[in-house]
A = this chain, B = another copy of it.
Amino acid sequence: MTNNPELPSAAALNRDELLDHWLGHRRLTRRTIECFPEEKLFHFTPAPPMRSFGDLMKEVIGMVEPVLEGFAAGKWTLELTDLSLVDNKAGLLEAFDRSTAMMKGGWPTIPDLRFREVESVYGMPLQANVHVFLYLLDNEVHHRAQGFVYLRLLEIEPPAFYQR
């Protein structure tokens, strides 16, 4: 077990694992949404100008479609999915599930080379497209974690972070 200097950048993660990793986070995020009382989901803003957890989740959900489209076909747009009519828990969970299914269904259609192609996306530094997906994932972890604090402020126990 010695390091191989010929492979300074050996593969660390493959595409199927990346999807599975995201799907695990999705399950945790879904459980987090479920923890919120209906009347607090869109109407609890303890730390302005931060949005309600429901609104944070609408951003998270709304990014899935444009990122998938950019990823799969190079059509990068900043236009999030319109979720302006979603204003309750059932509707949010439905939109959430729809976006999960969309990514899961679209994933196999993404050509392998798209993960490693380098494109200028959203004004971010030039890097392999996989990093846009990592941004999507990190953004979800970030906003979900903020929901954990909201839940604690409401004296509700959030789901276990380690469970996926």
Q: A-side interface residues toward B, CB under 8 Å?
A: 1-4, 7-18, 21, 25, 46-50, 108-116, 124, 127-128, 130-131, 134-135, 138-139, 141-146, 148-150, 152-153, 161-162
Contact = CB atoms under 8 A, between A and B. Distances in A.
Q: Is the interface of A mostly helix, strand, loop or mixed?
A: helix
Contact of A115 (B10, B115, B128, B143): B10
Identical copies in the complex: 2
A111 B48 contact: no
A1 B114 contact: yes
A10 B14 contact: yes
A26 B108 CA distance: 32
B139 A161 contact: yes
